[in-house]
Amino acid sequence: MSLLPGKYANVLLPLPIPGFFTYAIPPEMESTLIAGVRVVVQFGRKKLYTALVHSIHETNPGLSVKEILVQMDMLPIVNIRQFVFWEWLSEYYMCSMGEVMNAALPPALKLSSESRISLDPDFDRDYSRFNEREYNVITVLEQQKELSISDVSQITEQQRVIPLINSLIEKKAVRIYEDMIQRYTSKTEKFYNLAQIYRDDENALAAIIEYLERRAPRQYEILINLLHYLDLRNHPENGIPKSLLISEIKSADGALRSLVEKGLLEVTEQNVSRLDKHEAVQSVSDIELTEHQQEAFTKIREHFTNQKPVLLHGITSSGKTEIYIKLIEETLKAGFQVLYLLPEIALTTQIISRLRKFFGDVAGVYHSRFGESERAEVWNKVASWQAAAGGQAVSHSVILGARSAIFLPFSKLGLIIIDEEHDTSYKQYDPSPRYNARDAAIYLAKQHNAKVLLGSATPAIESYFNAKTGKYVLVSLEKRYGNMMLPEISVVNLKEATRLKQMKSHFTPALINELEKALERNEQVILFQNRRGFALRLECNLCHYMPQCRHCDVTLIYHKKENHLRCHYCGYKEPIPPHCPKCHNKELNLIGFGTEKIEEELSLIYPDIRIARMDIDTTRSKFAHQRIITDFEIGKTDVLTGTQMVSKGLDFDNVSLVGILSADNMISFPDFRSFERSYQLMAQVSGRAGRKNKQGKVIIQTRNPKHPVINFVIENNYEGMYRHQIAERQIFNYPPFSRLLKISLKHKEPEPLNLAAYELAGKLKKVFPKQVLGPEYPVVSRIKNYFIKEILIKLSRDKNLARNKEHISEIIKDFMRTTSNKQIRVITDVDPM
């Protein structure tokens, strides 16, 4: 990669096509064009795209190269290290750099396909301001509503039309859709200051103040406020923002205007940040680590020196977060940036308020539910970050984020913390790149020479294996903070209770009993129900027919509130049929139970208790999740029911009972990871029980009380679970002993799909005879009208991994080229979860 001026640029287009595209650099851009800036180029016969310059060189590609049309940024928005990171991702996860770029850039900086312009609704129809070309475009737009960039090019008979469009936008005549031009614009606010003459003349000012006090009390109040705030500022010449100036004065707009009209105040429009301000209120040195925590902390620091990732295996509530905070402070003092990853956006709220107590604005948040402009602002802050002299605090030196935060333009990372490292939410399923942020973060850390700390109460088998075999270093924390005991876990046999007719809806007498005791003592309860397969379905009680989705191979789920049946894969809905569609029998039963049912039945048994439910359905809106958690935290609700969402990293003080309504579905799910997953889920949700100085209780309802995984949960025996699983994984050559690669084929018809799947599997088996499994239908074999078949490849973990993947890519490419069935879609997923 050369940074010297050259004649050609390799650019990335936001397309799933591998490789770079070469364009010629026009002479006027030769001195300004650099890697990392965005440009507009023509691709194909008509389309214009915004592309990202990857490198600049002198090699003539030989063909007739097109010229770059416009340079959009003067400073790079992406640094060279990020390009290397993207390249690694695209190779490892077998996708194009364009796809990685699409995932990496925040939407407001993103590169669009073809953009269109239309008249600005606020256009004042004052035509005198336009030149002839601009005028032509406007008259066409008045008839045609919208135009593509290439249309504009035709109308004006010009190749380079972006400057013209920019000028029209500036004159507030047109608007552009998508983001050919910066979608991100900075936010501004009016700032007020004392007019210069009064700044220089104290006597005149005093006279005015006295006058206003008698005649215009509101103006007087504003002026006094202004003087007060100016006094507090280091740079009073910048003035005071309007929001602050009149924050405590009612209907002050008129008074403010008069002050300006009188020439007392000056107004300026200034850029302001959209990000909230926060101040630290506590010092990190106030945290006193316990003896065990101190020991773990010291070990972590020792091991950091040999540059291996450290896995902190600390049981729930052992104080992992406190250790993270200490490490963050050290890293900041040494002048580095910190990335702190969490698997769920919802968890960032609790943790950021803990971080901000100590670090104020030095800690920032970044995830995909954050507003578009705010994300762009955080991006720019990280891009322009520079260590301050003397270890001073710099805004956004610590970024707390969900998986997309690994893509921020860091320049000097010193530490990456990956909390709840076992969590499957670190993996992106769709769209490509199907990356695991935990694994990618470890690569990222290597790039920066940064330290890595993985934390979990229930590490992933792979990570624990890495720690045991010396690839990582293991540090354990086995005591809970503040004398908190681990909960007492008991198991109730669902089969027995059903046979003895003791069940009260889905609750065994043991659970009911504990629930009542807890509620009597004003303690809180969490009821956990794994969603998978446990929702309510409709079944004919004669022929046992269950209504199915028209587009997917799944049973429809009953939703009481909307009173309809719905597909959880594609959203298809239908009304409740009056009789069985097969045998016309009128008696249809509801079977199974979901979180909604639990909530309802519980409120039938106990009409007075306050119940909240947390699952995908109740947390769709932006703040719903936070509201449910806060209500529970402050004791507004007594019982929280929910899916795995309730098991994750949340910290409540008053929960004395956790009920797992049925352990069976997670245990028996057909996947080699279900043993590990069930352990993690049950151990994590159990960890929510218990309060200071008081042992909590957990009740697990199951039809398999003797199942080994349940025993490991009861004994809090992670090590035992690990040994049990690692032995099995070795026998069957599953990860960590191999690496998996899943190839999914999709087609609207089953026949061509089958043929194609066998053909591709055959080609793969020729090269990897013992490592290819399938093709096989997955558990859900049709989604959104596409039939699916899967091929699983177990790749050995040796040095040949990269080469083998390349080989597989070649085989797939060759198959796509030669197959007679062009409608087939092939999706590769590396390290599927």
Q: Which residues bind ligand ADP (CB under 6 A)?
A: 287-290, 293, 314, 316-322, 481, 651
What the block records as the tokens of 307 is 């540059």
* Residue nearer to ligand ADP on the CB measure, 195 or 289: 289
Which pairing describes strands 363-366 and 398-401: parallel, antiparallel, or unpaired? Answer: parallel
Taking CB under 5 A as the rule, does residue 245 contact Zn ion? no
Q: Least distance to ligand ADP from the beta carbon of 464, Å? A: 17
Return the number of the residue (718 or 787) whose C-beta is nearest Zn ion: 787
Q: Cβ closer to ligand ADP: 115 or 684? A: 684
Please tell me the distance from the alpha carbon of residue 139 to that of residue 116, in angstroms, as a whole number.
16
The minimum distance between CB 551 and ligand ADP, in angstroms, equals: 42
Q: Which is nearer to ligand ADP, 524 or 662 (CB)?
A: 524
Among 569, 652, 669, 758, binds Zn ion (CB under 5 A): 569
Tell me if 512 contacts Zn ion by CB under 5 A. Answer: no
Residue that has been written with the tokens 């998986």 in this structure: 403
The partner in contact with residue 549, picked from ligand ADP, Zn ion, none with C-beta cut-offs of 5 to 8 angstroms by kind, is Zn ion
How many Cα neighbours within 13 Å face the side chain of 456?
A: 29
d(CA 314, CA 475): 8
Q: How far apart are CA 271 and CA 173, in angstroms?
A: 24
Whether the Cβ atoms of residue 385 and residue 366 lie closer than 8 Å to each other: no
Q: Does 786 bind Zn ion (CB under 5 A)?
A: no
Interface with Zn ion (CB under 5 A), residue from 412, 532, 551, 765: 551
Looking at residue 637, the DSSP 8-state letter turns out to be -
HEC per residue, 696-720: CEEEEEECCCCCHHHHHHHCCCHHH
* Candidate segments 203-211, 563-571, 597-605, 772-780, binder of Zn ion by CB under 5 A: 563-571
Q: Is 552 in the site for Zn ion (CB under 5 A)?
A: yes
CA torsion sign, 365 to 367 to 369 to 371?
positive
At its nearest, how many Å lie between Zn ion and the CB of residue 782? 8
Strands in 420-517 per DSSP E: 451-456, 473-477, 488-493
Piece of the chain touching Zn ion by CB under 5 A; list 247-255, 543-551, 738-746, 754-762: 543-551
Q: Which does 746 bind (CB under 5 to 8 A by kind): Zn ion, ligand ADP, none?
A: none
Q: Among ligand ADP, Zn ion, none, what does residue 551 contact (CB within 5–8 Å per kind)?
A: Zn ion
148 or 290: CB nearest ligand ADP = 290
In the complex, the smallest distance separating the C-beta of residue 149 from ligand ADP, rounded to whole angstroms, is: 51
Task: Decide which of ligand ADP, Zn ion, none touches 487; Cβ closer than 5 to 8 Å per partner kind.
Answer: none
Q: SS3 helix, strand, coil % of the chain, rounded to 5?
A: 40, 20, 40
Nearer to ligand ADP, 14 or 319 (CB): 319
- As to burial, measured by CB atoms within 10 angstroms (0-12 exposed, 13-18 middle, 19+ buried), residue 133 is middle
Neighbours of 465 (CB within 10 A): 19
Task: Tell me the closest approach of the beta carbon of residue 60 to ligand ADP, in angstroms.
Answer: 58
405: its two tokens: 């935060």
Nearer to Zn ion, 424 or 548 (CB): 548
CB of 426 to ligand ADP, least distance (A): 17
650-653, long-range: CB within 8 Å, 24+ apart, which pairs? 650/347, 650/350, 650/688, 651/317, 651/350, 652/524, 652/526, 652/688, 653/691, 653/692
For ligand ADP, which residue has the nearest CB?
319
Binding partner selected for residue 320 from Zn ion, ligand ADP, none, CB under the kind-specific 5 to 8 Å limit: ligand ADP
Binder of residue 552, out of ligand ADP, Zn ion, none (CB less than 5 to 8 A by kind): Zn ion
Look at residue 570 and give the partner it binds from ligand ADP, Zn ion, none, a contact being a CB closer than 5 to 8 Å depending on partner kind. Answer: Zn ion
Which lies closer to Zn ion via its Cβ, residue 172 or residue 551? 551
- Using DSSP, state whether 480 is helix, strand or coil: coil
Q: Name the binder of 481 from Zn ion, ligand ADP, none, CB < 5-8 A by kind.
A: ligand ADP
Q: How big is the chain, counted in residues?
A: 833
Minimum CB separation from ligand ADP for residue 471, in Å?
23
CB of 324 to ligand ADP, least distance (A): 8
Amino acid type, 294: Q
567 lines the binding site for Zn ion (CB under 5 A): yes
Nearer to Zn ion, 89 or 567 (CB): 567
Nearest distance from residue 316's CB to ligand ADP, in Å?
Answer: 5
Q: What own/partner pairs with CB < 8 Å and gap ≥ 24 does 768-772 have?
A: 768/793, 768/795, 768/804, 771/738, 771/795, 771/796
Under rule CB under 5 A, which residues in 571-600 are in contact with Zn ion? 572
Per CB under 5 A, the segment of 161-169, 218-226, 548-556, 760-768 that binds Zn ion is: 548-556
| Cα-to-chain-centroid distance, residue 707 | 35
Contact criterion met (CB below 8 Å) for 493 and 333: no
In the list ligand ADP, Zn ion, none, the entry touching 567 (Cβ below 5 to 8 angstroms by class) is Zn ion
State the Cα–Cα distance between residues 790 and 826, nearest whole angstrom.
10
Q: At closest approach, how far in Å is the CB of 558 from Zn ion? A: 15
Beta pairing, strands 782-783 & 8-12: unpaired
- Which residues form the interface with Zn ion (CB under 5 A)? 549, 551-552, 567, 569-570, 572
